[in-house]
Amino acid sequence: MKRLWRFWPLRITLIYFIVSALWIVFSDSILNRLTGSLAAASIWQTYKGLFFITATSALIFGLTYTVFRQKQQALKELEASRQGFSILFSNHPQPMWVYDLETARFLAVNEAAVARYGYSADEFQTMSLFDICPENEVERLKKALETPRMMLQESGIWQHQDRKGILFPVQITSHTLEFGGRSAVLVQARDVSAEVEAFQALEHTRREQADLQEIINRSPIVVIRWGNQPGWPIELVSDGISQFGYSKTELLKAGFLFIHLIHPEDQERVKQEVAYYLDHRQDEFRQEYRLLNSRGEVCWVEDLTLVRRDENGEIVYFQGILLDSTARKQSELNLRETFLALQESEERLRQYIDFLPDPTLAVDPNGKVTIWNRALEEFSGVRREEILGKDYHVYSPLFYRQAHPMLVDLALEADHKKLKQFYPGVKIEGNVLIGEVEMPDFRGGITVWAKAAPLRDAQGQLTGALEVIRDITERVKAEKELRSAREALEERVAERTRELNQANLLLKEKLQALEEMEQTIRTSELRLRGILDSSSAIIYLYNLQDQFMFINRQFETAFQVSQEDILGKTPGEVFPGYDSPLIENNARVREEACPLQFTETLALPDGMHTYLSTKFPLFDAAGKIYGVGGISADITEREQMERELKETHLRLQAAFDELEAFSYSVSHDLRAPLRRIDGFCQALVEDYQNQLDPTARHYLKRIRSGVQQMAALIDALLQLSRLNKMELNIGRVDLVRLCREIQHELMQLDPKRAVNFYHPEELIVYGDEKLLRIAMRNLMDNAWKFTVERNVAEISLSEERREGQRLICLRDNGIGFDPKYTDQLFIAFQRLHDPAQYPGSGIGLATVKRIIHRHGGMIWAEGNVNEGAAFYFTLPGKANG
Partner 1 sequence: MDNISLIFLVEDNPDDELLTRRAIISSGLPIRVESAVDGPQALEILLGAAAPQGSARLTPDLIFLDLKLPRLNGLEVLSILRGRAETRLLPIIILTSSAEKSDVYHAYERGCNSYIQKPVGFERFAQSIHAACHYWLRLNQMPGQNKGTTL
List residues binding partner 1 (CB under 8 A): 664, 667-669, 671-672, 674-676, 678-683, 704, 707-708, 711
Alpha-carbon gap, residue 440 to 447, rounded angstroms: 8
- Give the count of beta carbons closer than 10 Å to the beta carbon of residue 857: 20
Strands (E), 506-637: 538-543, 548-551, 596-604, 607-619, 625-634
Please report how close the Cβ of residue 714 comes to partner 1 at its closest, in angstroms: 8
Strands (E), 718-868: 730-734, 755-758, 764-768, 793-802, 805-812, 859-863
Alpha-carbon gap, residue 442 to 423, rounded angstroms: 16
Size of the chain, expressed as the number of residues it contains: 881
470 or 704: whose CB is closer to partner 1? 704
291 exposed, middle or buried (CB, 10 Å; 0-12, 13-18, 19+)? buried
676 or 740: whose CB is closer to partner 1? 676
Please report how close the Cβ of residue 752 comes to partner 1 at its closest, in angstroms: 24
Alpha-carbon gap, residue 487 to 2, rounded angstroms: 179
Alpha-carbon gap, residue 619 to 439, rounded angstroms: 30
43 or 726: whose CB is closer to partner 1? 726
**What contacts 24+ positions apart, CB below 8 Å, involve 402-406?**
406/361, 406/452, 406/467
Q: In 3D, which of 184, 173, 179, 176 has the Cα closest to residue 102?
A: 184
Please report how close the Cβ of residue 778 comes to partner 1 at its closest, in angstroms: 20
Alpha-carbon gap, residue 81 to 601, rounded angstroms: 146
Alpha-carbon gap, residue 73 to 697, rounded angstroms: 184
Please report how close the Cβ of residue 588 comes to partner 1 at its closest, in angstroms: 57
Please report how close the Cβ of residue 748 comes to partner 1 at its closest, in angstroms: 19
Q: Are strands 315-324 and 234-237 parallel, antiparallel or unpaired?
A: unpaired
475 or 671: whose CB is closer to partner 1? 671
Please report how close the Cβ of residue 391 comes to partner 1 at its closest, in angstroms: 48
Count CA within 13 A, CB hemisphere, residue 185.
25
219 or 663: whose CB is closer to partner 1? 663
129 or 723: whose CB is closer to partner 1? 723
Please report how close the Cβ of residue 667 comes to partner 1 at its closest, in angstroms: 6
Please report how close the Cβ of residue 680 comes to partner 1 at its closest, in angstroms: 7
What are the φ/ψ torsions at residue 691 (nearest 5 degrees)?
Answer: -90, -10
Written as one string, the DSSP assignment of 152-179 is: EEEEEEEEEE-TT--EEEEEEEEEEEEE
401 or 676: whose CB is closer to partner 1? 676
Please report how close the Cβ of residue 808 comes to partner 1 at its closest, in angstroms: 31
Please report how close the Cβ of residue 708 comes to partner 1 at its closest, in angstroms: 7
Count CA within 13 A, CB hemisphere, residue 595.
10
209 or 724: whose CB is closer to partner 1? 724
Measured CA to CA in angstroms, residue 292 lies from 216, 221, 227, 329, 343 at distances of: 21, 16, 20, 15, 34
199 or 656: whose CB is closer to partner 1? 656
Measured CA to CA in angstroms, residue 80 lies from 96, 111, 349 at distances of: 21, 21, 117
Please report how close the Cβ of residue 687 comes to partner 1 at its closest, in angstroms: 9
Burial 688-697, CB ≥16 within 10 A → b, else e: eeeeeeeeee
Please report how close the Cβ of residue 679 comes to partner 1 at its closest, in angstroms: 4
727 or 761: whose CB is closer to partner 1? 727
Please report how close the Cβ of residue 725 comes to partner 1 at its closest, in angstroms: 12
187 or 681: whose CB is closer to partner 1? 681
Please report how close the Cβ of residue 686 comes to partner 1 at its closest, in angstroms: 8
Q: Are 180 and 94 in contact (CB under 8 A)?
A: no
Q: Are 147 and 176 in contact (CB under 8 A)?
A: no
3-state secondary structure of 321: strand
What are 435's strand-pairing partners?
426, 450
481 or 660: whose CB is closer to partner 1? 660
597 or 682: whose CB is closer to partner 1? 682
- Give the count of beta carbons closer than 10 Å to the beta carbon of residue 731: 12
Please report how close the Cβ of residue 645 comes to partner 1 at its closest, in angstroms: 33
- Give the count of beta carbons closer than 10 Å to the beta carbon of residue 868: 22
410 or 681: whose CB is closer to partner 1? 681
Alpha-carbon gap, residue 467 to 516, rounded angstroms: 53
Q: In 3D, which of 544, 531, 713, 489 has the Cα closest to residue 631?
A: 531
Please report how close the Cβ of residue 699 comes to partner 1 at its closest, in angstroms: 16
675 or 802: whose CB is closer to partner 1? 675
Q: In 3D, which of 778, 786, 796 has the Cα closest to residue 841?
A: 778
48 or 671: whose CB is closer to partner 1? 671
Alpha-carbon gap, residue 199 to 193, rounded angstroms: 10
Q: Are 878 and 766 in contact (CB under 8 A)?
A: yes
**What contacts 24+ positions apart, CB below 8 Å, involve 351-359?**
356/468, 358/468, 358/469, 358/470, 359/468, 359/469, 359/470
33 or 668: whose CB is closer to partner 1? 668
242 exposed, middle or buried (CB, 10 Å; 0-12, 13-18, 19+)? middle
Angle (CA) 152-157-158 rounded to 5° is 105
Please report how close the Cβ of residue 774 comes to partner 1 at its closest, in angstroms: 16
Q: In 3D, which of 755, 674, 737 has the Cα closest to residue 707?
A: 674
Please report how close the Cβ of residue 719 comes to partner 1 at its closest, in angstroms: 11
162 or 678: whose CB is closer to partner 1? 678
Contacts of 577 (CB under 8 A, 6+ apart): 603
